């Protein structure tokens, strides 16, 4: 069976929705710009992976074979700065933060990534790429650095409609080495004590943009299907990637460029790119930290520990990926309430059918449904088609989730009308053939919900109960911190230490800072 040809994708390059036709029939290559691993992930880092994990799931469900690459930037100015600040080798910070990132992805149910290449593991390919650009006359070496010569690229700016002059300065005296201010660094010479690699231009390290172009080529070829990232990466990062790759190969780099919208915190201001790299705005990082802290936590790992990865995934998928999403208490509470409607149905389903919803085997592929005379199944098939239409239309996950809600409503209504709850009774009278059939229809209809929610990466395991309610937990911790403070003021250090230790045993770490105490869930470091 040939994969579905009904999918349409919004292409940033053409600024239109285009029918999705991959370069090789049945096969799709996707590259998503991943994180610079210099700090713990925040909620902004969750957006791209969750969206593309869902897109990959949908493409596979539609019959495509998908290779999805997410790169790890493990050499960068920010990493070098962190390394200096903490007095820890850059490679160690990169390793720690990569582990943090991967744990978070696992927590969010992101499990479709095929390759996670690291820049430092592709140094030879990066250097070879830069050499090829110099040979083609698109780049020049200057005082130990190498720059891309933007003047040689007449199509520069075609993705973002911006000009090279908007390029931020490289700093560090690089400007004086450039032919034009808009030229950007492909290779940066090392200052004493900085991590460096040997190259034809001396010791140094690659620029960020060239890392992506080189890893795209190494893993997906000179032209591939989809390149994704946050809107904040559109310029200059993606514009520069295109310039490098197309000047080097003389052919289009990517067929479909997909950009996700930005995330905002509930009150005001941007949380940080919905892309996987903040575009160097210190303010954004601070805002993200502030948000996380206001939930009594330090980052994405803490949010996952506190609210569960499913709730965050659900929250992100309820907004169309190209829209701005809002993150804050209200959005979290709303997502929690919405999920409860599903979880209540799963409980009911378990009690009545004696099967766990998450244990139902979802249909792995999008196939034509078998026609049925049963009104319940007909109604569910109509909703299924509506779900598929929305996903086909540029992956409208928010609309698709609305159809899942309708399905739950339909299933509950059927259970009410046919009194299926009596099957939950311990002494249920032997069901007659008619009642048996009703239960079979209900279970068959639930399979459709399972099939489609699985495509979104939702409800794949038993919901985790988070006792006490999310709103109560931080208050209880704050209360214990206050009691500890009072004990210490009375010089009752034994009680103070005991509170700290016992909270630690529960996975809550306290950190005393300038007269206040911060807390986080998970081990402190
Ligand atoms: Zn990139």
> pLDDT tens track of the chain, all 525 residues?
567 679 999 999 999 999 999 999 999 999 999 999 999 999 999 999 999 999 999 999 999 999 999 999 999 999 999 999 999 999 999 999 999 999 999 999 999 999 999 999 999 999 999 999 999 999 999 999 999 999 999 999 999 998 887 776 655 568 889 999 999 999 999 999 899 999 999 999 999 999 999 999 999 999 999 999 999 999 999 999 999 999 999 999 999 999 999 888 876 444 544 444 433 333 344 344 334 334 434 599 999 999 999 999 999 999 999 998 889 999 999 999 999 999 999 999 999 999 999 999 999 999 998 899 999 999 999 999 999 999 999 999 999 999 999 999 999 999 999 999 988 887 766 667 888 899 999 999 999 999 999 999 999 998 887 644 556 777 788 889 989 999 998 999 999 999 988 888 887 888 887 778 888 776 543
271 CA → ligand 1 middle, Å: 20
Residues 26, 3 contacting (CB under 8 angstroms):
yes
Residues 213, 247 contacting (CB under 8 angstroms):
no
409 CA → ligand 1 middle, Å: 42
207 CA → ligand 1 middle, Å: 11
* Distance (Å, whole) CA 333 – CA 341: 13
| Closest-CA residue to 22 (of 60, 69, 76) | 60
Residues 310, 339 contacting (CB under 8 angstroms):
yes
The helix (H) or strand (E) run that includes residue 11 is strand 8-11
35 CA → ligand 1 middle, Å: 9
33 CA → ligand 1 middle, Å: 4
Residues 25, 82 contacting (CB under 8 angstroms):
no
37 CA → ligand 1 middle, Å: 13
Question: Checking DSSP bridges between strand 27-32 and strand 65-70, what pairing results, if any?
Answer: parallel
258 CA → ligand 1 middle, Å: 12
124 CA → ligand 1 middle, Å: 18
Residues 80, 172 contacting (CB under 8 angstroms):
no
240 CA → ligand 1 middle, Å: 9
Residues 209, 184 contacting (CB under 8 angstroms):
yes
In 250-358, which ranges are continuous DSSP H helix? 282-294, 300-307, 309-317, 329-353
The pTM for the full model equals 0.84
49 CA → ligand 1 middle, Å: 14
468 CA → ligand 1 middle, Å: 42
pLDDT at residue 17 in the model? 97
pLDDT at residue 283 in the model? 37
Is the bond leading into 236 cis (omega within 30 degrees of zero)?
yes
Report helix, strand or coil for 140: strand
232 CA → ligand 1 middle, Å: 11
238 CA → ligand 1 middle, Å: 7
* Distance (Å, whole) CA 41 – CA 312: 14
Residues 476, 445 contacting (CB under 8 angstroms):
no
| Closest-CA residue to 442 (of 462, 405, 416) | 416
Tell me the Ramachandran region of residue 298: left when phi exceeds 0, alpha when psi lies from -120 to 50, beta otherwise. alpha
pLDDT at residue 522 in the model? 61
DSSP of 27-78: EEEEEE---B-SS---THHHHHHHHHHHHHHHHHHTT-EEEEEE-BB-S-HH
Positive or negative CA dihedral for 172, 175, 177, 181? positive
Residues 363, 447 contacting (CB under 8 angstroms):
yes
* Distance (Å, whole) CA 505 – CA 134: 58
209 CA → ligand 1 middle, Å: 6
219 CA → ligand 1 middle, Å: 13
243 CA → ligand 1 middle, Å: 13
Q: Which neighbouring-strand residues pair with 185?
A: 147
228 CA → ligand 1 middle, Å: 9
* Distance (Å, whole) CA 28 – CA 154: 29
Positive or negative CA dihedral for 254, 60, 410, 464? negative
Residues 112, 53 contacting (CB under 8 angstroms):
yes
Q: Burial, 389: exposed, middle or buried (Cβ in 10 Å; 0-12, 13-18, 19+)? A: middle
pLDDT at residue 281 in the model? 35
309 CA → ligand 1 middle, Å: 25
267 CA → ligand 1 middle, Å: 30
237 CA → ligand 1 middle, Å: 6
| Closest-CA residue to 49 (of 63, 35, 28) | 35
* Both structure tokens of 444: 């068959």
Positive or negative CA dihedral for 164, 169, 170, 174? positive
Torsion angle (degrees, nearest 10) of CA 335, 336, 341, 344: 150
Catalogue all structural domains in the chain, each as residue range(s) with its CATH number.
Answer: 24-135+208-325 (3.40.50.620), 340-455 (no CATH), 472-521 (no CATH)
367 CA → ligand 1 middle, Å: 35
370 CA → ligand 1 middle, Å: 44
212 CA → ligand 1 middle, Å: 5
282 CA → ligand 1 middle, Å: 20
* Distance (Å, whole) CA 209 – CA 73: 10
31 CA → ligand 1 middle, Å: 8
Torsion angle (degrees, nearest 10) of CA 415, 419, 423, 429: -160
């Amino acid at each position: 069976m040939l994969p579905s040809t009904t999918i349409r994708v919004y292409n940033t390059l053409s600024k239109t929705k285009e029918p999705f036709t991959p370069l090789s029939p049945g096969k799709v290559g996707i590259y998503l710009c991943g994180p610079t691993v210099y700090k713990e992930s925040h909620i902004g880092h969750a957006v791209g992976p969750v969206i593309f994990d869902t897109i990959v799931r949908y493409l596979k469900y539609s019959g495509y074979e998908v290779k999805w690459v997410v790169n790890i930037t493990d050499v960068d100015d920010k990493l070098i700065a962190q390394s200096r600040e903490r007095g820890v080798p850059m490679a160690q910070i990169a390793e720690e933060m990569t582990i943090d990132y991967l744990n978070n992805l696992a927590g969010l149910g992101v499990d479709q990534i095929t390759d996670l290449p690291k820049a430092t593991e592709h140094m030879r390919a990066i250097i070879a790429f830069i050499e090829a650009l110099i040979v083609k006359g698109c780049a020049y070496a200057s005082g130990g650095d190498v720059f891309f010569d933007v003047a040689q690229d007449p199509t520069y700016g075609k993705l973002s409609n911006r000009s090279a002059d908007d390029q931020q300065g490289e700093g560090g005296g690089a400007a004086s080495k450039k032919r034009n201010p808009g030229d950007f660094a492909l290779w940066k010479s090392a200052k004493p004590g900085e991590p460096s690699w040997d190259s034809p231009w001396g010791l140094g390290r690659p620029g960020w943009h060239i890392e992506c172009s080189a890893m795209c080529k190494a893993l997906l070829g000179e032209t591939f299907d989809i390149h994704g990232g946050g809107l904040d990466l559109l310029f200059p990062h993606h514009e520069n990637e295109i310039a490098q790759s197309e000047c080097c190969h003389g052919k289009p780099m990517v067929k479909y460029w997909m950009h996700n919208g930005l995330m905002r915190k509930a009150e005001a201001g941007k949380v940080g790119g919905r892309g996987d790299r903040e575009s160097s705005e210190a303010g954004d990082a601070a805002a993200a930290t502030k948000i996380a802290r206001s939930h009594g936590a330090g980052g994405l790992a803490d949010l996952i520990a506190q609210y569960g990865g499913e709730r965050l995934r659900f929250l992100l998928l309820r907004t169309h990926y190209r829209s701005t999403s809002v993150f804050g208490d209200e959005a979290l509470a709303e997502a929690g309430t919405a999920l409860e409607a599903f979880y209540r149905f799963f409980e009911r389903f378990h009690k009545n059918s004696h099967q766990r919803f998450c244990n139902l085997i979802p249909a792995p592929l999008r196939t034509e449904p078998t026609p049925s005379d049963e009104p319940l199944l007909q109604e569910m098939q109509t909703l299924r088609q509506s779900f598929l239409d929305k996903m086909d239309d540029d992956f409208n996950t928010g609309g698709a989730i609305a159809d899942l809600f309708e399905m739950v409503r339909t299933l509950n209504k059927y259970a009410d009308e046919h009194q299926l709850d009596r099957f939950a009774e311990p002494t249920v009278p032997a069901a007659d053939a008619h009642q048996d059939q009703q239960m079979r229809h209900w279970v068959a209809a639930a399979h459709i919900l399972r099939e489609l929610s699985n495509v979104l990466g939702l409800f794949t395991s038993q919901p985790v109960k988070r006792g006490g309610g999310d709103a109560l937990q931080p208050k209880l911790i704050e209360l214990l911190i206050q009691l500890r403070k009072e004990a210490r003021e009375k010089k009752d250090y034994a009680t103070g230490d005991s509170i700290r230790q016992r909270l630690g045993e529960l996975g809550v770490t306290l950190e005393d800072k300038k007269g206040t105490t911060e807390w986080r869930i998970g081990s402190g470091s």
